[in-house]
Amino acid sequence: VSVEPFRLENGRLLLLDQAMLPTEERWRVVEDARAMAEAIAGLSVRGAPAIGIAGALGFALEASRVTESPEAALPLMRRAAATLKAARPTAVNLAHAVDRMAAAAEKDARSSGTAAWIARLWSEAQAIWDEDRRASRAMAEHGASLFATERRFLTHCHTGGLATGGGGTALGVVLELARRGRAVEVWATETRPLLQGARITAWELTRAGVATTLVADAAAPSLLARGVVEAVVVGADRIARNGDVANKIGTYPLALAAREAAIPFVVVAPTTTVDPRAATGAEIPIEERAAAEVLVFQGKRLAPEGCRAANPAFDVTPASLVSAIVTERSVLRGPFDGSTPIDFGAGPG
Amino acid sequence: VSVEPFRLENGRLLLLDQAMLPTEERWRVVEDARAMAEAIAGLSVRGAPAIGIAGALGFALEASRVTESPEAALPLMRRAAATLKAARPTAVNLAHAVDRMAAAAEKDARSSGTAAWIARLWSEAQAIWDEDRRASRAMAEHGASLFATERRFLTHCHTGGLATGGGGTALGVVLELARRGRAVEVWATETRPLLQGARITAWELTRAGVATTLVADAAAPSLLARGVVEAVVVGADRIARNGDVANKIGTYPLALAAREAAIPFVVVAPTTTVDPRAATGAEIPIEERAAAEVLVFQGKRLAPEGCRAANPAFDVTPASLVSAIVTERSVLRGPFDGSTPIDFGAGPG
């Protein structure tokens, strides 16, 4: 069964602290929106769909603390929404989910008593979570249908159950093939600087009994050139209308190498990842994270004093390099020309 | 003044242990061929030209221990040569230098007394070192002439003074521009798994007062796509006759990204790096290093038990992606078609 990033236990929300994996499987209690925003910013929970759900749950937790009338609580709830949305800037799912929660809070504020209003918001958050689980399931099935015989996949960063409400995006496709009896093997990039591939992807895959080989990020393109893998599957943090894909830094060189090796480069992401306001990737803001993530590892400085670091968290892969985009609704097959808007089906925006 | 990887002090050979940089500047005494082979295999000394010199010095150290006649010592010296050449398989400079030392040892074995034979071998090793210093100087000047106005360079792994007999290859070009007063800035890839970029390139550059920004390897292609840098300069571990370049793993995606961004991708390496026996890159053996280099960092396991790792030390960049190859003899400008042998000038083979 797929791992999930959250669980509700006796009315408390617990979150698996992904920053501690694989050394330790530590579940943290999260009590309000600020704590959830910190968990998102500190990458205790990560993955575009998962942080959408985290935002919704954080908003519901904040609502649970309200003792006055819902209407009186609205200014506080608006601040909570802003705090949650600011926790990470690139993944659009977070803003989508929080906006949806905030709209529900505003809508029912005058007509409900406090307890009913809180219950309504928990049920909205639970709906967001459930929709994501169903989306993961649908993506896994659509994605699996793309690969009739392939066994050897390369993936980047982490896109498994812990990156979603459960099930996963790109990794969900590979795990679905394994469930169907395909003898899949996965080459996972370690994904510097925070090693989500080494720590989380390898943990989910070995836990599921899938043969897993870790490689340094920079080694992946040569594996493609040498024919070691048959396809590349990745997730997305934001997709522009033309199909340009913002995803974990290091996705773009994999797409270049896949084109060069003439193997499929497949993006798997729910339609909540599509940003209807971004016409192309140039309009997607790229989060620049702390230099210390690159300069320091396990408390030890890697580079000499006086050396700076650049730490963009994402890069943009042009639509023209993408072979297919798998959503919960459909499989969109390239080639994409990068100038025509893609019809993703009835979008969330 | 450029840093050098070795120094002779009161008849003892000292080697700067590059595996300890930048935390510690530790000089180790090396006493015989076996210890030098271990220093090469363990990356206390690395960089294709530097390990050629290290092989020559290791051979001379072994000769210094001979007390019988040179002729009687030849079987032992042949074994020492084999040990040194086996320390690392990809860089051809090591085999070149050791073969040259072995030929000198055989040639003079019958005609010289032991002391004269030893002195002759030290002088041969010193000649190899001096030639490499002169080659670095010439490469720096030829390479600098390629860049009329460029200030912002990206480089990979480490190719400075410590990777050669002094001076450097790709980094030597950038340092030469700085010496001429150009306000150069360097984006250095950290170079996983062993972080030669973070530890050694950043150390040499900041020591020389050059503005240095470290990036994760996977972030470099997006810097090229965004126009942050104007040129990529790298070294080489082995160059095939058609211009295919084996260099540190992760060089190939930089070449792909440079072509995509239409910026120069320049290889700087002495002609001793050219392998006259390799018609193309397909004939270059690629060293596979220990999985532990990827799986374990600073004594801590990064990935879960049961996860394997692949750790190719080099990749091959097709000649067609190389804008120019700078040697001590000349600047060879592409485009190279990959099917025509390149005339590198009178080669070493």
Question: What is the interface pTM, i.e. ipTM, of the complex?
Answer: 0.94
A309 touches chain B (CB under 8 A): yes
A132: annotated active-site residue: no
The catalytically annotated residue of A132, A237, A244, A275 is A237
pLDDT of A1 higher than 70: no
Which chain B residue is nearest to residue A293, measuring alpha carbons?
B216
* pLDDT of B2: 77
Mean pLDDT along residues A118-134: 97
Which chain A residue is nearest to residue B221, measuring alpha carbons?
A253
Could you tell me the CA-to-CA distances from B185 to B99, B153, B253 in Å, in that order?
Answer: 39, 6, 21
* pLDDT of A17: 97
pLDDT, chain A, mean: 96
* pLDDT of B208: 95
pTM: 0.94
In single-letter form, the type of residue at position B147 comes to F
How many CB pairs below 8 A link A and B? 189
pLDDT of B1 higher than 70: no
On whether the CB atoms of residues A333 and A323 are closer than 8 A, the answer is yes
End-to-end Cα, chain B, rounded Å: 32
Query: Which among B222, B315, B316 has CB closest to A249?
Result: B222
Confidence of residue B237 (pLDDT cuts 50, 70, 90): very high
Contact A216 B217 (CB under 8 A): yes
pLDDT of A340 higher than 90: yes
Beta strands in chain A (DSSP E): 6-9, 12-16, 27-30, 152-155, 185-189, 211-215, 231-234, 238-239, 245-248, 265-268, 296-297, 300-301, 308-309, 314-317, 324-326, 331-333
Exposure letters B306-324 (e unless 16+ CB within 10 A, then b): ebbbbbbbbbbbbbbbbbb
Long-range contacts of B79-83 (CB under 8 A, 24+ apart): B80/B32, B80/B33, B80/B34, B81/B33, B83/B33, B83/B34, B83/B37
Phi-psi region of A214 (alpha: psi -120 to 50; beta: other; left: phi over 0): beta
B304 touches chain A (CB under 8 A): yes
Confidence of residue A349 (pLDDT cuts 50, 70, 90): very low
On whether the CB atoms of residues A82 and A75 are closer than 8 A, the answer is no
On whether the CB atoms of residues B159 and B47 are closer than 8 A, the answer is yes
* pLDDT of A11: 86
CA distance A203 to chain B (A): 6
pLDDT, chain B, mean: 96
Mean pLDDT along residues A254-270: 98
Mean pLDDT along residues A29-55: 97
Phi-psi region of B338 (alpha: psi -120 to 50; beta: other; left: phi over 0): left
* pLDDT of B349: 41
On whether the CB atoms of residues B323 and B261 are closer than 8 A, the answer is no
CA A260 – CA B126 distance, rounded (Å): 44
- Tens-place pLDDT, residues B124-180: 999 999 999 999 999 999 999 999 999 999 999 999 999 999 999 999 999 999 999
On whether the CB atoms of residues B276 and B347 are closer than 8 A, the answer is yes
Mean pLDDT along residues A154-168: 96
pLDDT of A347 higher than 60: no
Which H helix or E strand runs over B27? strand B27-30
Which H helix or E strand runs over B246? strand B245-248
B280 touches chain A (CB under 8 A): no
CA distance A11 to chain B (A): 32
- Tens-place pLDDT, residues B209-224: 999 999 999 999 999 9
* pLDDT of B51: 97
Contact B260 A257 (CB under 8 A): no
CB contact residues (below 8 A), chain B span 86-145, against chain A: none
Q: What percent of chain B has a predicted confidence (pLDDT) above 70?
A: 99
pLDDT of A237 higher than 70: yes
A211 touches chain B (CB under 8 A): yes
* pLDDT of B201: 98
Mean pLDDT along residues B228-240: 97
Phi/psi for A305 (5° steps) reads -55, 145
Identify the residue whose tokens are 């790109």: A170
* pLDDT of B189: 98
Contact A311 B253 (CB under 8 A): no
pLDDT of B253 higher than 90: yes
Structure letter (DSSP) for residue A46: -
The catalytically annotated residue of B237, B244, B275, B337 is B237
DSSP helix/strand/coil, A156: coil
Structure letter (DSSP) for residue B290: -
Confidence of residue B347 (pLDDT cuts 50, 70, 90): low
Mean pLDDT along residues A194-223: 97
CA distance B157 to chain A (A): 11
* Chain B CB contacts of A223 below 8 Å: 310
Query: Which among A192, A225, A260 has CB closest to B218?
Result: A192
Q: What percent of chain A has a predicted confidence (pLDDT) above 70?
A: 99
Strand-pairing partners, residue B231, are B153
